[in-house]
Amino acid sequence: MAAHVLHSEQPAFSFQQAPQTAAGQPTQHSFYPYTDNGGSTLGISGDGFTILAGDTRLTSGYNILTRYAPKLFRIGGHGPEHEGSKIVLSVVGFAADGRALQERLDTVCKMYQYQHGKEISVHACAQRLSHILYNKRFFPYYVQAILGGIDEEGQGALYSYDPVGSYEREYCRAAGAASSLIMPFLDNQVNLKNMYEPGSVQGLEKKQLVPKPLDRQTTEQLVRDAFSSAVERHIEVGDGLQM
């Protein structure tokens, strides 16, 4: 007489035990709020002017999401076109955070103009941007920001930031995916790092070249040369140049 054995069907999973990986470790499901959208920006200040520039490519990994994503924004001024604005903000990194930071800083500057009856200075705007970034230090804006404008003495002013608000005034700065390619070029051509006067390298004494403010035409050509080189070497930089 054949014996019939009934097997109860048990589910292949359990709500009481965490899922395991092949190595026997628990599987962790988490949400990462940031992404790097590529691109690069740079800024150079000179005698009576400041130039900020950035490419227009927006990427996610090996995918190009759009070929026109501005990274430079006017701050303050009048109306939606920011007429009369003398301050420009560049942001690179996480595009959504960059846009949120730009909108917040623009609102602060327009409120200052409404309350005080005058436009905010580039120095005061730079300090206010530092406060905004520092206030978000526990969940920071995932961006590298550069702020440029004309100071009270009519000279070009350029400020660079880290994501939590530390900043300094500089002659030039590059940020973003190709910053490691562009910044050495700027150090050589603008900051004159490791550059010595001709004929002074013989013997023990070397006379270091002193950096001087560049004229606007030379600066514009340096910006074009920097990005022409970067787009040949980095896949996350390209398409258009906003300056």
Do the bridges between strand 49-55 and strand 167-169 make them parallel or antiparallel, or are there none, so unpaired? unpaired
Task: Report pLDDT digits (tens) over 8-41.
Answer: 565 565 566 666 666 666 666 677 889 999 999 9
pLDDT of residue 8: 53
Sheet holding 167-169, edge to edge: 72-75, 87-93, 143-150, 156-161, 167-169
User: What is the rounded (10 degree) CA torsion for 90, 96, 129, 191?
Assistant: -30
Low-confidence spans in the chain with pLDDT less than 70: 1-29, 199-204
pLDDT tens digits for 100-136?
A: 999 999 999 999 999 999 999 999 999 999 999 999 9
Q: How far apart are CA 109 and CA 232, in angstroms?
A: 38
Question: Which residue has tokens 């969940």?
Answer: 139
169/95 Cα distance (integer angstroms): 24
pLDDT at 203: 58
pLDDT the model gives residue 194: 82
Domains and their CATH numbers in the chain = 40-177 (3.60.20.10)
Cα–Cα distance measured from residue 69 to residue 236, given in angstroms and rounded to the nearest whole number? 12
Which pLDDT score, from 0 to 100, does residue 218 have? 93
pLDDT at 3: 54
